[in-house]
Structure 1
Amino acid sequence: WALEQLLTFANVSATVRTIVIRLKDGSLWVNGPQWPTGEFCKLLDELGPVRHVVLPCVALEHKAPIKAFTKRYPEASVWVAPGQYGPFGTVGLTASSAKMGYRVDGVFPVGAPKAGDALPHWADEFDMRTLYVDLPENAGPVAETAFLHKPTRTLVTTDAVVFVPAQPPPIFSTYFAPSDAADPDFWAKSVIQAVFLPLREDGAAPRSQPAARWPGYGAVQGRLLRAPILRAFADARAPAEVRSWVASIAEWPFDRVLTAHFASPIKATPAEFAGAFSYLDGELPDIRCEDWRLLDGLNKLIEDNQLGAP
């Protein structure tokens, strides 16, 4: 199951999705839980008892709600990706290093689990691979744990890849007026701002063809891809580590991908997943050079001021 909330700040709006899987014993595995509102918890509780909580990455929008969520479900086990840092707590490579404001039962091992690594009780139903890159010059690591749910041949990711649909997800109607969503430019501009590309417009293209009118949108819509912000911030700094992580995931036998943002589930093979990272091997970019200027500027700001990894 997927439980969605809408993240909005400044001019950026994006779906944030919690992935919920019922395990063989009937308990719930909750990956990337969002804010535990009354509606959210009611829907979750209807599915079964929450026994396992997963914080799969270090991105702020995913770790910010965890303390409130674990307070609502204090008996659930909590496993987190390594390298947590910032205002919502810190964790190194072991649970004993955790200072998150809530109990942390375990930290996912870097790379593939090895003999002797501590693993969660539910590990028999999943395989896992953890990307972890320490970027000391940016004051914080980049990390994400991807999971293969073996019984359903499902790849569960958070930010690894996205698929931008042709229309805004239904949850956008809970915040935006119908007249706004009906504007031909609305979704294209929302996508461009969410992936941090500049609002470059081709005024000669008709408004009825948003992919032509907004080249940045046309470059990312309708296919599985790596989010530009992660290409710029993480992959450019650690291409070898990202390439190794992707290759290890592509060895798994999955036929669909679940993600935390934009559309999900996505029908995709391991080869298609790996193809979203083909730029790491020198394939010509699909996003024009001039459309990287916003991310280049943010990168420079991060490096000059040591603001922390994304």
Structure 2
Amino acid sequence: MIKTRRTTSSNISPEDTSWPFWPIVPLYPYGQRRTLRTEVVKDTIWTFEQCQGILYVVVPIRMTVVRLEKGGLLVYAPVAPTGECISLVNELVGAYGDVKYIILPTVSGIEHKVFVGPFARCFPKAQVFISPDQWSFPLNLPLSWLGFPGERTHKLPLNSQESPFADEFDYEILGPLDLGLGIFQEVAFYHKRSHTLLLTDSIISIPSEPPEIIKIDPYPLLFHAKENGLEIIEDTIQNRIKGWQRIVLFSLYFRPSSLGVVKWGRVFKNAFKAPDRSRKAYFGLFPFQWNEGWESSFKELYLQPLIVAPILQGVIFNRSPLEVLSWVDKVSLWGFERIIPAHFSAPIQTNSSQFREAFDCLRYPKHNLENDDFQLIRDIEKRLTQIGVTPPSKL
């Protein structure tokens, strides 16, 4: 049985959930972040979830903690080290030993990178291992300038057997994939004892209902369940699900085909009449209009056990499909039973065959060319190539 642990509202204060460095990456919920801990494999693996987003398009962001067989903990993809989060980690430290290793498994995911330095300072004995080809934009600054503890930060060896945790973990590095202005890189970790694959962004699975961490504050769900800015939305299970499914379409397609265009004159006119004109409700502004059929777009995503996020399919992985598929083949050899990604559902009970099938979007890309929901991503890809920001697609 999967066990969930979170601090209750009666014993938590704003100081416990404070994240003072939020202006560096100004994502909702800004300076206040709740944390949800879940035991995935008994006495072995735990996930720590927070939420983040833009314009109330809020999705989970996840850190995974694994107990090492010889004592201590390994942390994969840290989240914001709020007081609440560190308290929940320290409960595991008290039971299983110190945090020994902190892993940053990506180079381009600023929403993951920004937490590593502050998290590492909370555990001064931990060694930090990072994906090897780190870069920053607009200036490629030294890691110490980005908050990483210089004396205990190391690049992951290209050969996983040379790492200090090779007896318990294998890993495979995807990339670096050339994106023009920068690169994409992700490190898949395989925990041998539990047959668990840890990923960051490359694979996701979509739940039909909002995750528990999102339900702690349901306002974003209800905001996106509205049909217009004049509607007073009731907090019901059905409206929470409706809001969540629309959030998924926003987050993956940016502008799904079922999202209509609302004239700004009408948007401002309705804003003056909106029942909620508070700053929380963006002063009544609601520039969204959903057309019939949006449920079908969500269902297509939900029915797939594993998917590659559309932005990765259409803008990043299509630059080096053969390299990505080679990485997929190597990862598939591990024979894992579950995947824990950094976003959306987790754990995902799955297998290597389903993992390989998810990347058929690179083997047979015709479906994406015919899917209207991909139109904005196709337009972005075309424009970036035209102005020379990214190299041409190889699909």
TM over 0.5: yes
Q: Aligned pair 1:185/2:242, yes or no? A: yes
- Counterpart in the other structure of 1:80: 130
User: Conserved in 1, the CA contact under 8 Å of 2:253 and 2:373?
Assistant: no
Structure 1: 5+ residue stretches without partners: 204-209
User: Conserved in 1, the CA contact under 8 Å of 2:157 and 2:163?
Assistant: no
- Please give the residue correspondences for 1:269-284 in structure 2 after superposition, counting only pairs within 5 Å: 269-282=351-364, 284=366
Q: Aligned pair 1:43/2:88, yes or no? A: yes
Deviations 1:138-175 (A, max 9, x none): 21111000011001111111112101011010111223
- Counterpart in the other structure of 1:306: 389
CA distance in 2, matches of 1:60, 1:307: 19
Q: Which has the larger radius of gyration?
A: 2
Q: What is the deviation of 1:235?
A: 1.2
When residues 22 and 182 of structure 1 are mapped into structure 2, their CA distance, relative to the original with a 3 A threshold, is same
Q: Aligned pair 1:143/2:185, yes or no? A: yes
Deviations 1:12-47 (A, max 9, x none): 211000010010122110000011001100001111
CA distance in 2, matches of 1:258, 1:62: 15
2:166 aligned counterpart, secondary structure: helix
Q: What is the deviation of 1:87?
A: 4.9
Q: What is the deviation of 1:213?
A: 3.4
Q: Aligned pair 1:201/2:266, yes or no? A: no
CA distance in 2, matches of 1:180, 1:298: 36
Q: What is the deviation of 1:97?
A: 8.1
* AA matched with 1:158: T
When residues 74 and 202 of structure 1 are mapped into structure 2, their CA distance, relative to the original with a 3 A threshold, is closer
CA distance in 2, matches of 1:264, 1:296: 29
Q: What is the deviation of 1:75?
A: 1.9
* AA matched with 1:150: K
- Counterpart in the other structure of 2:302: 221
Select the residue among 101, 105, 113 that pairs with 2:147: 101
User: Conserved in 2, the CA contact under 8 Å of 1:80 and 1:106?
Assistant: yes
2:378 aligned counterpart, secondary structure: helix
Deviates more, 1:291-300 or 1:263-272: 291-300
CA distance in 2, matches of 1:297, 1:202: 16
- Please give the residue correspondences for 1:119-158 in structure 2 after superposition, counting only pairs within 5 Å: 119-135=162-178, 138-158=180-200
CA distance in 2, matches of 1:32, 1:286: 30
Q: What is the deviation of 1:180?
A: 7.5
User: Conserved in 1, the CA contact under 8 Å of 2:177 and 2:319?
Assistant: no
CA distance in 2, matches of 1:277, 1:144: 15
User: RMSD value over aligned CA atoms?
Assistant: 2.9
1:162 aligned counterpart, secondary structure: coil
Count of residue pairs the alignment pairs up: 292
In the superposition, the TM-score normalised over structure 2's length comes to: 0.67
- Counterpart in the other structure of 2:379: 297
Structure 2: 5+ residue stretches without partners: 1-45, 223-234, 261-290
CA distance in 2, matches of 1:261, 1:287: 25
Q: Aligned pair 1:52/2:101, yes or no? A: yes
In the superposition, the TM-score normalised over structure 1's length comes to: 0.84
- Counterpart in the other structure of 2:334: 252
Q: What is the deviation of 1:192?
A: 0.7
Task: State the identity %.
Answer: 29
Q: What is the deviation of 1:214?
A: 3.1
1:106 aligned counterpart, secondary structure: strand
